């Protein structure tokens, strides 16, 4: 977790420095494993004084987490709106897998997890997905369809993809589609159970 | 992944050396974050020559992965056998959460994931869970109950727990119970869908 303001809200020189730091982290992560990363190494690559990194982030783990979050959750991202729950879930599962499944993104995600110590209850990655799940559910209900819960979307669509990618379990689009179909089945089951009331 | 023989099949002095190395890794992991761990540090704590660690494991990541696997999958573990699918799933979800949810085990799991580079399709952690899921399903079918698939158990019970713990998402027994209930619902839905055939 970080308490610093997001990059996009700062301007001018400060934004350029942040951009250089983010880019340096991205390049270094792309070149090798995160355990080679230190603040002096990032500072040299970014062409900034290490002191300004220490002042803003305290340690390399906090910087890595912030960069990982920025890489994994695009600001303004919205859940797909295809006109049906089945379509929305399938499209979203594919997008999540694309987001985290490329080698570079997987490295980010693993670095983020390795930087964690204990719980991260307000992890921006998940907070963002919960907001998107809520929007998707609201649209589904507005169409008169029964919807899964936010927890069901997080636990049965998002989390299995994160777990698989983190663990290095081979995962392709057919797995994403299967997860989406199962979440749809859970939502439809709610229809069956509540129809008799 | 490691190609070395498991600890328990070696005997005598060799087994004592391995035991000392495993214990040293466990102690050091328990004391702090895995990025402080190097082979010389492990060797010093275990009272062995670093050369024998380098010879057997090559690098610290391979050693960490082997220790993590040993810590997370107990040999001979079987899925719970409570007499019903509902009971088996609930008991198993609770056991998985207990296995990986303590701070020490979570540290192991994160170290294992951080040590990964690319895919690990034969990850022993998951291979073991798949064997257990298959046994659970066979018992369920033998009782005349409809069962979920192996993939459904892995993706909707095991993976969400791994994902939550790795990401640092607060997770307790009620979450484990909820996941088990959803997997049961998926299995029961198969009854409803196939009953009309």
Kindly identify which residue of chain A lies nearest to residue B184, measuring between CA atoms.
Answer: A186
At residue B62, the pLDDT reads 81
Position of tokens 């299967």? A178
Whole-number Å distance between alpha carbons of A46 and A34: 16
B116 within 8 A of A168, measured Cβ to Cβ? yes
At residue A63, the pLDDT reads 84
Query: Is residue A71 within 8 angstroms of chain B, CB to CB?
Result: no
B135 within 8 A of B173, measured Cβ to Cβ? no
Query: Is residue A76 within 8 angstroms of chain B, CB to CB?
Result: no
- Which sign does the torsion angle of CA B147, B170, A87, A107 carry? negative
- The crossing angle, in degrees rounded to 10, of helices B173-195 and A173-195 is 80
At residue A34, the pLDDT reads 54
Report the percentage of chain A scoring pLDDT > 90. Answer: 37
Kindly identify which residue of chain B lies nearest to residue A148, measuring between CA atoms.
Answer: B182
A107 within 8 A of A34, measured Cβ to Cβ? yes
| pLDDT tens digits, one per residue of A27-65 | 776 665 455 678 898 899 889 999 989 988 888 878 877
At residue A128, the pLDDT reads 80
SS3 B170: coil
More confident residue, A99 or B191: A99
* Partner-chain contact B116 A110, CB within 8 Å: yes
Nearest to B186 among A162, A164, A182 (CB): A182
* Partner-chain contact B113 A164, CB within 8 Å: no
* Partner-chain contact B121 A168, CB within 8 Å: yes
Question: Among residues A91, A69, A101, which one has the least CA distance to residue A169?
Answer: A101
pLDDT under 50: residue ranges of chain B? 1-10, 33, 75, 196-197
Averaged pLDDT for residues A66-79: 67
* Domains, in order of start, for chain A: 7-72 (1.10.10.60), 85-195 (1.10.357.10)
Contacts of B192 in chain A (CB under 8 A): 189, 192
Put residue A118 in one of left, alpha, beta given phi > 0 → left and psi -120 to 50 → alpha. Answer: left
Nearest to A35 among B35, B164, B192 (CB): B35
| pLDDT tens digits, one per residue of A8-31 | 444 566 777 877 887 788 777 666
**ipTM associated with this complex:** 0.72
User: Worst-scoring range by mean pLDDT, A125-134, A145-154, B142-151?
Assistant: A125-134
Whole-number Å distance between alpha carbons of B64 and B26: 9
Q: How confident is the model at residue A194 (pLDDT cuts 50, 70, 90)?
A: low
Kindly identify which residue of chain B lies nearest to residue A103, measuring between CA atoms.
Answer: B118
Contacts of B110 in chain A (CB under 8 A): 113-114, 116
First to last CA, chain A: 44
């Amino acid at each position: 977790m970080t308490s610093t303001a997001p990059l996009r809200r700062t301007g001018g020189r400060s934004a350029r420095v942040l951009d250089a730091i983010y880019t340096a982290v991205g390049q270094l992560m792309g070149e090798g494993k995160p355990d080679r990363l230190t603040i002096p190494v990032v500072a040299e690559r970014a062409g900034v004084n290490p002191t300004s990194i220490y002042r803003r982030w305290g340690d390399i783990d906090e910087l890595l987490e912030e960069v990982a979050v920025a890489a994994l959750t695009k600001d303004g991202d919205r859940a797909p709106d295809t006109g049906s729950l089945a379509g929305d879930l399938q499209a979203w599962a594919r997008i999540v897998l694309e987001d985290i499944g490329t080698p570079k993104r997987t490295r980010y995600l693993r670095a983020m997890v390795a930087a964690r110590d204990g719980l991260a209850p307000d992890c921006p990655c998940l907070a963002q997905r919960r907001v998107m799940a809520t929007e998707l559910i609201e649209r589904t209900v507005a169409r008169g369809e029964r919807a899964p819960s936010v927890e069901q979307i997080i636990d049965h669509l998002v989390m299995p993809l994160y777990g698989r990618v983190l663990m290095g379990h081979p995962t392709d689009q057919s797995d994403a589609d299967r997860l989406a179909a199962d979440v749809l089945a859970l939502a439809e089951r709610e229809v069956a159970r509540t129809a008799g009331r």
